[in-house]
């Protein structure tokens, strides 16, 4: 065991790697685990590969989230991508670029969450790399999954219905609540409501969890593999409905109309927005990080998809439709149609999601 109070600079790269490897359970299908030049894993004919990462101060803040939740989310954002291809996640490579002054305790907490989430989803951590950086922490995961029927984002056809799983907006609301001082403990319980009164606690906790410990519809995504004929296109909602849907339109060369009234707004987000006389829809349209699935479904397949959603207890909403036209989106409010520009966050632009929401910060408590 390493002293949790020591820094990674003190224990050194070798010591830290050895310690982390000792924490990894042997996983099914892992022929050669971490510690050799490369890992060797048993694969099928088709392997899904995705990678996503976090930069401290941009994708996570150490004072906003306990390390365990950061570790869980680091794996979850990749799980969401595999689910959006209707795959089964299998093996993860974890790269950590850490400032030397990072405490071993932090890295262990990160691994607590990562390994817990891996165990929940049948994933084995098979290797990775530890590096030192003088800048902000950079964490990334590459996830391998088993693929069979592949749901891509380029198959939407004119006439298809635009279908969305779950509820949207809570993750973006969570960012605002974090900025207002609300906090979760490492077990996901609320330890601080921030500027909000105690009777808002359930709403606050709900949105913080959506932001810090998202729960993509992994089982439903995987179940679609056996019903792939029902779905023309699928992708996960990571950057926000407006920019992700535009990606689907571009890949599929279709036009989309979204009915604002049909967007499945998270009920807690609705409460916060109502309390401040604001438009909750913008959280769902541009907030991002909902990690729900966006599907293009032919009208005749809708009942089949709904049946599957009932089996998996997955809320489903038809929020619009695709038509012929240039890759773009119109937003329908009542009888009016307006162009909907992509407003998701772009990590390089100043108008990042976080920055955007900071400007909109308000502090009235929500109606209960």
Per CB under 8 A, contacts with a copy of itself among 75-94 are 80-82, 84-85, 87, 91, 93
Binding to a copy of itself by residue 9, rule CB under 8 A?
yes
Q: Which of 5, 26, 28, 38 binds a copy of itself (CB under 8 A)?
A: 38
Chain centroid to Cα 92, Å, comes to 16
Which residues are paired to 293 by β-bridges?
236
Question: Total residues contacting a copy of itself (rule CB under 8 A)?
Answer: 75
Which residues are paired to 93 by β-bridges?
127, 142
Q: Which is nearer to a copy of itself, 47 or 180 (CB)?
A: 47
Q: How far is the CB of 226 from a copy of itself (least distance, A)?
A: 17
Binding mask 255-294 for a copy of itself (x = CB under 8 A): ----------------------------------------
For residue 122, how many other CB atoms are within 10 A of its CB?
15
Q: Which residue matches tokens 């109070």?
A: 5
Binding to a copy of itself by residue 26, rule CB under 8 A?
no
Burial of 366 (0-12, 13-18, 19+ CB in 10 A): buried
Binding to a copy of itself by residue 59, rule CB under 8 A?
yes
Q: Which of 219, 251, 275, 309 binds a copy of itself (CB under 8 A)?
A: 251
Q: How far is the CB of 51 from a copy of itself (least distance, A)?
A: 5
Binding to a copy of itself by residue 45, rule CB under 8 A?
yes
Structure tokens at 6: 């020591």
SS3 31: strand
Structure tokens at 310: 């009932």
Q: How far is the CB of 199 from a copy of itself (least distance, A)?
A: 39
Considering only residues 179 to 198 of the shown chain, the ones binding a copy of itself according to CB under 8 A are none
Q: How far is the CB of 179 from a copy of itself (least distance, A)?
A: 19
Considering only residues 151 to 180 of the shown chain, the ones binding a copy of itself according to CB under 8 A are 152-154
SS3 128: strand
Considering only residues 131 to 150 of the shown chain, the ones binding a copy of itself according to CB under 8 A are 131-136, 138, 140, 142-145, 147, 150
Considering only residues 319 to 348 of the shown chain, the ones binding a copy of itself according to CB under 8 A are 346-348
Q: Which is nearer to a copy of itself, 12 or 188 (CB)?
A: 12
Q: What's the CA gap between 332 and 339, in Å, rounded?
A: 9
DSSP state of 160: P
Q: What's the CA gap between 35 and 342, in Å, rounded?
A: 44
Residue 10 makes CB contacts below 8 A (sequence gap 6+) with none
Q: Which is nearer to a copy of itself, 211 or 247 (CB)?
A: 247
SS3 358: helix
Q: Are 183 and 353 in contact (CB under 8 A)?
A: no
Structure tokens at 346: 């772009």
Binding to a copy of itself by residue 36, rule CB under 8 A?
yes
DSSP state of 294: E
């Amino acid at each position: 065991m390493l002293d949790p109070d020591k820094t990674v600079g003190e224990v050194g790269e070798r010591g830290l790697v050895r310690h982390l490897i000792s924490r990894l359970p042997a996983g099914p299908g892992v022929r050669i685990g971490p510690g050799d030049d490369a890992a060797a894993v048993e694969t099928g004919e088709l392997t899904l590969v995705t990678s996503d990462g976090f930069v401290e101060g941009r994708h996570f803040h150490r004072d906003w989230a306990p390390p365990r939740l950061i570790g869980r989310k680091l794996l979850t954002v990749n799980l969401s991508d595999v689910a959006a291809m209707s795959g089964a996640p299998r093996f993860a490579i974890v790269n950590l670029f850490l400032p030397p002054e990072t405490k071993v305790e932090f890295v262990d907490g990160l691994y607590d969450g990562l390994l817990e989430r891996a165990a929940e989803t049948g994933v084995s951590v098979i290797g990775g790399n530890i590096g030192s950086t003088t800048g902000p922490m950079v964490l990334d995961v590459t996830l391998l999954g088993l693929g069979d029927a592949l749901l891509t984002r380029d198959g939407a056809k004119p006439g298809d219905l635009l279908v969305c799983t779950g509820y949207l907006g809570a993750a973006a609301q969570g960012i605002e609540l974090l900025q207002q001082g609300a906090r979760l403990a490492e077990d996901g319980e609320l330890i601080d409501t921030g500027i909000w009164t105690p009777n808002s606690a359930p709403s606050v906790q709900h949105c913080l969890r959506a932001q810090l410990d998202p729960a993509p519809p992994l089982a439903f995504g995987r179940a679609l593999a056996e019903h792939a004929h029902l779905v023309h296109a699928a992708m996960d909602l990571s950057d926000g409905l407006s920019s992700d849907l535009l990606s689907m339109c571009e890949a599929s060369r279709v036009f989309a109309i979204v009915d604002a009234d049909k967007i499945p707004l998270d009920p807690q987000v609705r409460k916060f927005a109502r309390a401040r006389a604001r438009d909750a829809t913008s959280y769902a349209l541009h907030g991002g990080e909902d990690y729900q699935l966006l599907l293009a479904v032919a009208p005749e397949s809708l009942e089949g998809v709904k049946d599957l959603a009932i089996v998996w207890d997955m809320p489903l909403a038809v929020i619009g439709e695709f038509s012929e036209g240039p890759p773009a989106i119109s937003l329908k409010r009542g009888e009016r149609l307006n162009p909907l520009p992509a407003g998701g966050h772009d990590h390089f632009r100043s108008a990042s999601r976080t920055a955007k929401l900071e400007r909109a910060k308000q502090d009235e408590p929500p109606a209960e």
